Structure 1
Amino acid sequence: MPQRRSQYTQADSSFRDEEMQTDEPLQRRHQTPHHRLKGCFFWFLLFFVVVLLAGGHYIYQKYRTAHSTINTIHKETGVQKARDTQAALKQGRPISLLLMGTDTGALGRTYKGRTDTLVLAVLNPKSEAMTLVSLPRDTKVAVYGHESDYPAKLNAAYAYDGSASAVRTVQKYLNVPIDYYATINMGGLENLINAVVGVDVSPTLTFSYGGYSFTKGQKTHMNGKKALAYVRMRYSDPQGDYGRQERQRQVLMSVAMEATQVENLLNEKFLNTVSKQMTTDLSFNDMLLLAAKYRKATHHMNSTHLQGQSSMISGQSFEVPDESEKQRITDLLRKALDLSPDQTGSTLSSSDEINVN
């Protein structure tokens, strides 16, 4: 047995020597498909890692730019939040957002201005619905902290103490917590819309204005100039200023939703435009949470407005909603926020408490 084994080993060794002396094509034929696949996989993996590293660096740079820009528009009101808004965002609970379109910059204005448009929006991802309520700018109120100037117009609240007094006045007026705010300079709205490559809007009525034509119910992609023509028309609207508010509400909400798209949050052109036209107390991380958790809240939209009656008081024209109409709006908003029903608010009340139960 030992001898035979030795002979076998010697023969095996001779065979290996002869195999090593064979030409290159024969050597390739002896490689298995498994070995060839392992080689391809290695190169693919190497290529993937290189691309990932390069792409990761690019995304990281974009992220840093976006984060830095959002920091420039982030501005706290100094108002004590009526509830824990961070917890609500992280848990995906309904949140409210007061959108204000200021007239600063419009028609050459350079002063702080007033809020030409006020829209209170509620995003409810659970019901996949968004509730929008337009508040007439001429609504008769007592501005928070300036009750001695009563009666005043709602749009004047911003002229007193900026977003802080506007937020306080609205939430006290309706007894509804306002979680966040965003102001958009209407004078720069055209650039903002162009920065998001236009907005899609379904016109509320058929009309022509500023060289553009609009058809009721026909979804239309609008650039900045076309969108401005759409929201500026007033006197041909059978609903007057209420109709104009509804069109402004449509465009502002379209811009707001585009602003939370991740691709726009990383778009330098868009961010540069936003930094000049917008302020908000939403942080960059808040916006990322909105983009991730609240997009489905736009699947259904419920839209309305607070209806008032025109009244001349001390030579000024006011819109004065009756208590039942105010209560309707309060009920609508509190239900959208998953809050218990409660009585509507009053800006002349001595209590500052907002029911958040």
Structure 2
Amino acid sequence: MNRNKKHKHLGLKITLIIVALLIIGVGGVFGMMWHQTRSTFNKIYDTDGTAHNTAIKKKKPFSILLLGADTGADGRISRGNSDTIMVVTLNPNTKKTVIYSIARDTLAEMVGTKSLNVQKLNAAYNIGESKMAKASVSKLLNVPINYYAAINMGGLEKIVNAVGGVTVNASMDVTFDGITIPKGKHHLNGKQALAYSRMRYQDPRGDYGRQLRQQEVMMAVVKKLATPSGITKYGDMMESLEPYLRTDITLNDAVKLATNYRSNMDNVSSKQLKEKSATINGSSYQVPSTKILQHTSNELRQQLGLSKEKLDNQNTRLNALNEAFFNDENSQNYDTNGAVTQYYTNNTY
């Protein structure tokens, strides 16, 4: 449990590096590097058995589900809870990229199980891998999920080392796992960057401060990738990430990203799905209201060039039966067992 807690938010901003790798890096791959990159892509490419999406090929708006798995030490990608969950939408017409972070403990239906299964959203990747994770997030927000990319939390150290380290400007002393980064400007290797990105409890800003440090490390990596010398490191970067990364974006798609969506990296906005803490069957959850879910769905659908639709899923049904939970700001009691029974007694679904 302690190990998983350390990894919980590690990939909150770092997974955007995957998008940067695909958009910035592939455009500079030539000659021998192309063959090296193609070989690596063949290893990280992982389809869930569904038909390959053609949105990127057709230069359409599309979405990527970014997952940060909590299995960093043992190199596993195909199993583990996705403790980082983000929906990233890119629209080549508006040149906008929108990143929506979703809490790992969000109450959601596991889409694809034989019987109704409502639990924490991060379990979907563990139960049914990328196929269930994509379907569950899609159902929660009523938006199509075109692609996914999952990175194992052990990948950060490899990423930073592959680009030759990163320079940060620490606003305070940062100590974690026996490593101390003093206040001030420092060039960090992968292990140091990992510690710098993990520390939370000593930061008076708490998780917010940690997210800012993760963004700092991420942007330092992205800036290096965007330079001519950074392009030459792309092959090494992808090769070092191979044990930690899986995606259903092909190399040909990545090349299209480099040519058709490159300007999207200049207009990136980051948002969070606002939720309320709840206690369900003795466990801690995050529950988004129907109003918030509908607003998020509308925004993402607009970004994808789709019309608004009224949200109707297991979350909205349960929310309708838990009005007291939302009306009382101090309440944390959210009923799923009795509410589900009540709903299925009175309705056909």
- Residue 97 of structure 2 is matched in structure 1 by 130
Structure 2 SS opposite 1:130? strand
Change in Cα spacing, 1:333 to 1:110, as seen in structure 2 (3 Å) is: closer
Structure 2 residue 49 is the aligned partner of structure 1 residue 78: yes
2:76–2:152 Cα contact (<8 Å) kept = no
Structure 2 residue 198 is the aligned partner of structure 1 residue 232: yes
Structure 2 residue 181 is the aligned partner of structure 1 residue 212: yes
Q: Write the letter of the residue equivalent to 1:189.
A: L
Q: Mapping of 1:117-196 within 5 angstroms?
A: 117-146=84-113, 148=115, 150-196=117-163
Size of the alignment, in residue pairs? Answer: 284
Q: Mapping of 1:100-119 within 5 angstroms?
A: 100-106=67-73, 112-119=79-86
1: distance between equivalents of 2:147 and 2:224? 17
Change in Cα spacing, 1:209 to 1:266, as seen in structure 2 (3 Å) is: closer
Q: 1:150 Cα deviation (Å)?
A: 3.3
Change in Cα spacing, 1:349 to 1:320, as seen in structure 2 (3 Å) is: closer
Structure 2 residue 277 is the aligned partner of structure 1 residue 310: yes
2: distance between equivalents of 1:321 and 1:277? 31
* TM-score normalised by structure 1 residue count: 0.67
Structure 2 residue 35 is the aligned partner of structure 1 residue 64: yes
Q: 1:72 Cα deviation (Å)?
A: 0.9
Q: 1:97 Cα deviation (Å)?
A: 0.7
| Residues 52-82 of structure 1, C-alpha deviations (whole Å, 9 max, x = no match) | xxxxxx943322221121011100012457x
Q: Write the letter of the residue equivalent to 1:316.
A: S
2: distance between equivalents of 1:71 and 1:79? 17
- Residue 287 of structure 2 is matched in structure 1 by 320
List runs of 5+ in structure 1 lacking aligned partners: 1-57, 351-357
| Residues 122-176 of structure 1, C-alpha deviations (whole Å, 9 max, x = no match) | 1123222210110100001121123746331111111101111111100111001
2: distance between equivalents of 1:78 and 1:236? 45
1:132–1:303 Cα contact (<8 Å) kept = yes
Structure 2 SS opposite 1:89? coil
Of 70-79 and 238-247, more deviation after overlay is shown by 238-247
Structure 2 SS opposite 1:132? strand
1: distance between equivalents of 2:238 and 2:145? 25
* TM-score normalised by structure 2 residue count: 0.69
- Residue 259 of structure 2 is matched in structure 1 by 292
- Residue 4 of structure 2 is matched in structure 1 by none
2: distance between equivalents of 1:174 and 1:162? 19
1: distance between equivalents of 2:302 and 2:172? 33
Structure 2 SS opposite 1:90? coil
- Residue 46 of structure 1 is matched in structure 2 by none
List runs of 5+ in structure 2 lacking aligned partners: 1-28, 318-349
2: distance between equivalents of 1:179 and 1:131? 15
Q: 1:348 Cα deviation (Å)?
A: 6.6
Change in Cα spacing, 1:188 to 1:323, as seen in structure 2 (3 Å) is: same
1: distance between equivalents of 2:111 and 2:66? 18
Change in Cα spacing, 1:343 to 1:250, as seen in structure 2 (3 Å) is: farther
2:155–2:241 Cα contact (<8 Å) kept = no
1:157–1:169 Cα contact (<8 Å) kept = yes
Question: Which structure has more helix as a fraction of its residues?
Answer: 1
Structure 2 SS opposite 1:177? coil
Q: Is the radius of gyration larger for structure 1 or structure 2?
A: 1
Give the superposed CA RMSD: 3.6
2:61–2:90 Cα contact (<8 Å) kept = yes
